[in-house]
Amino acid sequence: MDNTILVIGAGGQLGHCLKDVAKANRITNIIFPEEGAANILDLASLHELFTEIKPTYVINCAAYTAVDKAEDEKDLATAVNATGAKNLAVLCNEFNAVLIHISTDFVFEGNIVKLLTEEDTSQPINVYGLTKLDGERRITENLKAYFILRTSWLYSEHGNNFTKTMLKLGTERDELNIIADQVGTPTYAVDLATVIFHIIASNSKEYGIYHYSNEGVTSWFDFAKAIFEISKVPVKVNPIPTSAYPTKAKRPHFSVMDKNKIKSTFNIDIPYWRNSLEKCITAINNN
C-alpha cells in the first residue's frame, strides 16, 4: 500500500484492532494520532492535521456510542456522530482523500424479519441511530469518495463490549438473564479492520454504503451462551423478553444485514460469528 492512512478515533476498540491488524500485516503507512490532535469537532486543528499528513484514506472510528445515554445527550451525540462526520467529509473533499466511515445497524427500525439491504429504508428508533443516520447523510452530501460501512454488535479484546462484560459477569455470578428477542449478528472488530484494509488495498472506486458483520444470526441470549460455552465458564443463562429489561433507548428487534454487496464487490469471504468469537476469546485469554 502506497497510500497514507489516517485513523480518527484511534483510542476506541476498532482503532486498537486496526493497530493490531496493521502490525500483523506490516502496514506502516498508517497514522494513529492522539485524540487531542484529531478532535473531529475542532475543524481548525483537523485542517492542520490534514495539511501535515496529506492522507489518501481517512478511517473514521470516532463515534458517540452510548445508546441509552444518547437519549439524554442528544446534542453531544449529534455533534460527534453528525457534525464530526461532516467535518471529515468536507476535509476529505478538500484534500482529495477517501473517507471510510463506520456506521450501524441501528439506522434501521428492525421490526420486520428480513435481511436488511443497503437500499432498505432507514428509520431509526433511538437518538443514537438518528445521529448516525444524520452522519451518513452529511457525508453523502459533502463527498463523493466514501465507503460507509454499517456494522453491528461490535466486540473485541479491546475496550468495553458485550463479550468482555459477559466474561466479567461470569466471574461474579452463577446465573444471568439475557434478552432473547433481539436478533442480529455479532461482529469481531478484527474482522472489520481486516476488511477495511482489504478495501484500501483494492483501490476500488465503487464508493457507497456497504453492510458488514460476521455471518450468521443470533440473539443476545444465544451470544451470551456461546461466550460461556467457548470460555468454559459455568453460568446459567436465562432467556428473557425485552419487556423484562426496559432501557431508555429502544432497540431494533431484528437487524440482520445482507452482506452480498460487500462480498461481491470486494470478493471477500466473511467468517461465521461463532468462529470469530472463539478467536477473540483466545486473544482475551492470551492477554
Q: What is the model's pLDDT at position 35?
A: 81
Q: What is the model's pLDDT at position 287?
A: 81
132-135 long-range contacts (CB < 8 A, ≥24 apart) are 132/63, 132/81, 132/103, 132/104, 132/106, 132/107, 133/103, 133/107, 134/78, 134/81, 134/82, 135/81, 135/82, 135/84, 135/85, 135/86, 135/101, 135/103
Please give the C-alpha separations between residue 274 and each of 125, 157, 204, 224, in angstroms, as whole numbers.
Answer: 28, 15, 30, 11
Q: What is the model's pLDDT at position 166?
A: 97
Contact at 8 Å (CB) between 176 and 235? yes
Please give the Cα distance from 194 to 232 (Å, whole number): 28
User: pLDDT for 46-83, tens place per residue?
Assistant: 999 999 999 999 999 999 999 999 999 999 999 999 99
Q: What is the model's pLDDT at position 37?
A: 83
Q: Is the four-CA dihedral 227, 278, 223, 11 of positive or negative sign? A: positive
Confirm whether 245 is a catalytic residue.
no
Q: What is the pLDDT along the chain (287 residues), one digit of tens a residue?
A: 568 999 999 999 999 999 999 999 999 999 999 888 899 999 999 999 999 999 999 999 999 999 999 999 999 999 999 999 999 999 999 999 999 999 999 999 989 999 999 999 999 999 999 999 999 999 999 999 999 999 999 999 999 999 999 999 999 999 999 999 999 999 999 999 999 999 999 999 999 999 999 999 999 999 999 999 999 999 999 999 999 988 999 999 999 999 999 999 999 999 999 999 999 999 999 88
Considering 57, 128, 146, 188, which one is annotated as catalytic?
Answer: 128
Q: What is the model's pLDDT at position 3?
A: 86
Please give the Cα distance from 206 to 28 (Å, whole number): 25
CATH classification for the domain delimited by 5-160+187-215+254-272, as one of 3.40.50.720, 3.40.50.300, 1.10.3720.10, 3.40.50.2000: 3.40.50.720
